[in-house]
Amino acid sequence: MSTEKHALVAFGANLNFGDLSPKATILAAIAELDRVGLPVTRLSTLYQTPCFPAGAGPDYVNAAAVVTLRHAMGAADILTCLHTVEAKFGRERVQRWGMRSLDIDLLALGESVLPDAETYLHWQSLTLEDQRSLAPDQLILPHPRLADRAFVLVPLTDVAPDWQHPISGLTVAQMLAALPAKDRAEVVPLAST
């Protein structure tokens, strides 16, 4: 996968946006990404996952996608486009890990490690307590929590199972296999309704 051509993104939502359910919001956001120059070329199944932490709100709808870059776009430009789409669907950045109408995360941009391996490793190794209260002031790629989250890896396995993490060397499928079976089992395909 070429760093100039593709990015991996994850979607999540657990609140309605007006009349749109979380599923409908994610599907509408995918169409909007195309309008802002980030067409989704591969989309996972939509999945239902428990809210984290448990009991904190309604279950989430999650998905992952491969986005094709039509022209040379840097990670910051991509992130700006993702935030623009989030805002269109009511995303407010009030609480870390809070309920939301839409979350779109830039997971990876090819083999890029941003801003550098040392900074990535710092954020990747934070304790759970620090993860709850600290947020980086710059974009960290690949996403530092990518390997820990079944709700990201299960959908990502649908669209990019062979993408290899540039730091760990593990593929998406290998990272998913390393998670506890209980975590993987909580991510279930969304019932067609």
Where do the domains of the chain lie? 6-189
* Residue corresponding to tokens 């700006």: 80
Q: What is the predicted pLDDT for the residue at 45? A: 97
Is pLDDT above 80 for 177?
A: yes
Mean pLDDT computed over 133-150:
89
Cβ-defined contacts of 83-88 (< 8 Å, 24+) = 84/36, 85/29, 85/32, 85/33, 85/36, 86/29, 88/29, 88/32
> Contact, 47 vs 63, CB < 8 A?
yes
Q: Do you know the residue count of the chain?
A: 193
Using one digit for the tens of pLDDT, what is the confidence trace for 159-176?
999 999 999 999 999 999
Using one digit for the tens of pLDDT, what is the confidence trace for 4-13?
489 999 999 9
Give me the CATH topology for the region 6-189. Answer: Alpha-Beta Plaits (3.30.70)
- CA–CA gap between residue 101 and residue 152 (Å, rounded): 17
Which residues face 13 on adjacent strands?
61
Mean pLDDT computed over 57-73:
90
Q: Which of 161, 158, 128 is nearest to 144 (CA)?
A: 128
Q: What is the predicted pLDDT for the residue at 4? A: 44
Using one digit for the tens of pLDDT, what is the confidence trace for 85-132?
999 998 665 554 456 789 999 999 999 999 999 999 998 888 877 767
Considering only residues 66 and 3, tell me which one the structure prediction assigns the higher pLDDT: 66
Sign of CA dihedral 156, 158, 160, 164: positive
Is pLDDT above 90 for 54?
A: no
Mean pLDDT computed over 67-88:
90
* Three-state DSSP class for residue 164: strand
- What's the pTM? 0.90
